[in-house]
């Protein structure tokens, strides 16, 4: 079967590990490339257990172009899902060069290697952060982009621009850009999930660590926003739904690839297709606290505090384009997101580090 092997960069991370499981269940072969800076080999071992097969995994940094090229020489890769990158907003303000080098430099290396090896299908992990301060809600894909306030967000925007220029330069490229809203939850097995290093920046991993007693209480950043209860509103999406969005995007690229052979012989170019991956529902911080308390049976002590620098009041997307063109819709609700997060967190209170025999 052609179009079968997918290289997943950042495959050992939170989103990557869930994407791999869904791809394998859909019949794809997987190759993982990950520098393991913010991820653990233990997640791959657990994915292998769930999938019942070995996954070729390379501990390679995208900045090491020769090593990336070696992986392309060893495997007949048909598509790439590019998730590797640094993602902490605050850290990106302190270490902008590291973010530009890792995210933008890593991506241009990957794209060069792909081109040299004749691989032109790529799904890129972007973020709703590229929309900046929303001018209207829900956010649609044609909302203006680029008004990002931090280097992390700017790298996502720049990579989107690079991919767009590539498509203009060479009609062979097939690009899908996925703009994620807020991924939460974990795999049903409770064996893989989000395992941030250090103090979690994001709401749900922090809440999970409060529930298992690793942190005393949650700080709610801002209670005076123009939202129903004054706390920030976001579009939380179950990570398994998000993963299934990637599977749908790979199918779409394969389809486009075939169509191009038929119709795009005359120098026409195709821009990247861009999709919001969210539920379309805005949920507040206090709604999340309530839902997680219900799912876990634990009280989440919290204090209301000042707004966090750079945060916006509300951010939620319109996912109807993905429904129409990818035939994909998020189906898992808030209760399921919280129950699955709790299963992972309660079974792995110290994340992957607590695992027996873990080398990471
Ligand atoms: N929040 C708290 N306490 C915390 C952490 C978060 O109250 O300890 C609040 C935030 O103020 C916000 C909401 O919970 O209102 C969600 O915050 P997260 O940090 O979980 O997520 P963000 O929406 O700020 O950021 C996420 C991704 C970014 C991405 C951004 C925009 O983490 O990578 O969405 O798409 F850039």
Tell me: the pLDDT tens digits for 42-83? 999 999 999 999 999 999 999 999 999 999 999 999 999 999
Q: At what angle do helices 285-296 and 203-211 cross, to 10 degrees?
A: 40
- Residue 260 tokens, joined: 């191009």
232 three-state secondary structure: coil
Mutate to test the pocket of ligand 1, among 149, 224, 308 (most ligand atoms within 8 A of CB): 308
Q: Give the rounded distance of the alpha carbon of 133 from its chain centre.
A: 20
Q: Is the CB of 234 under 6 A from ligand 1?
A: yes
Q: Work out which ligand 1 atom sits closest to the CA atom of 179.
A: 35
Mean pLDDT per block of 10 residues along the chain (360 residues) reads 82 98 98 97 98 97 98 98 96 97 98 98 98 97 94 98 96 96 98 96 98 97 98 98 98 82 54 96 98 98 96 97 98 98 98 65
* Portion of the chain with pLDDT greater than 90, in percent: 90
Q: Is the CB of 203 under 6 A from ligand 1?
A: yes
In whole angstroms, give the CA distance from residue 113 to residue 155. 20
Cβ atoms of 305 and 357 within 8 Å: the answer is no
Span from the CA of 181 to the centroid of ligand 1 (angstroms) = 10
146 three-state secondary structure: coil
275 three-state secondary structure: strand
Helices (H), the chain: 14-25, 41-51, 65-74, 89-94, 96-99, 106-116, 151-169, 203-211, 239-263, 285-296, 320-325, 334-347
pLDDT at 354: 75
At a CB cut-off of 8 Å and minimum separation 6, what does 18 contact?
186, 187, 192, 239, 240, 242, 243
pLDDT at 263: 55
In whole angstroms, give the CA distance from residue 248 to residue 243. 9
Q: Is the peptide bond before 117 cis (omega within 30 degrees of 0)?
A: no
Mutate to test the pocket of ligand 1, among 148, 154, 156, 203 (most ligand atoms within 8 A of CB): 203
């Amino acid at each position: 079967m052609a179009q079968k092997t997918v290289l997943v960069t950042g495959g050992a991370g939170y989103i990557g590990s869930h994407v791999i499981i869904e791809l394998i269940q859909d019949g794809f072969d997987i190759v993982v490339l990950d520098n393991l800076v913010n991820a653990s080999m233990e997640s791959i071992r657990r994915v292998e257990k769930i999938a019942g097969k070995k996954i070729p995994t390379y501990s390679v940094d995208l900045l090491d172009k020769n090593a990336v090229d070696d992986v392309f020489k060893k495997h007949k890769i048909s598509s790439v899902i590019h998730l590797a990158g640094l993602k902490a907003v605050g850290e990106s303000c302190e270490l902008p060069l590291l973010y530009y080098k890792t995210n933008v430099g890593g991506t241009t290396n990957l794209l060069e290697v792909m081109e040299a090896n004749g691989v032109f299908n790529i799904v890129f992990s972007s973020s709703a952060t590229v929309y900046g301060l929303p001018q209207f809600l829900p956010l649609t894909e044609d909302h203006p982009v680029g008004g990002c306030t931090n280097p992390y967000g700017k790298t996502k925007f720049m990579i989107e621009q690079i991919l767009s220029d590539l498509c203009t330069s060479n009609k062979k490229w097939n690009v899908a850009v996925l703009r994620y809203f807020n991924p939460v939850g974990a795999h049903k097995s409770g064996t893989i999930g989000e395992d941030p290093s250090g103090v979690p920046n994001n709401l749900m991993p922090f809440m999970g660590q409060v529930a298992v007693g690793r942190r005393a209480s949650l700080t709610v950043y801002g209670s005076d926003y123009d939202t129903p209860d004054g706390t920030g509103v976001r579009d939380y999406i179950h990570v398994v739904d998000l993963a299934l969005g990637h599977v749908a995007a790979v199918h779409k690229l394969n389809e486009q690839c075939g169509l191009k052979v038929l119709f795009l012989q005359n120098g026409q170019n195709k821009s990247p297709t861009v999709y919001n991956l969210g539920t379309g529902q805005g949920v507040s911080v206090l709604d999340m606290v309530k839902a997680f308390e219900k799912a876990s049976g634990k009280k989440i002590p919290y204090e209301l505090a000042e707004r966090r620098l750079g945060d916006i009041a509300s951010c939620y997307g319109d996912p109807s384009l993905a429904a129409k063109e990818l035939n994909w819709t998020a189906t898992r609700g808030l209760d399921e997101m919280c129950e699955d997060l709790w299963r992972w967190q309660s079974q792995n209170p110290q994340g992957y580090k607590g695992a027996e025999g873990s080398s990471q």
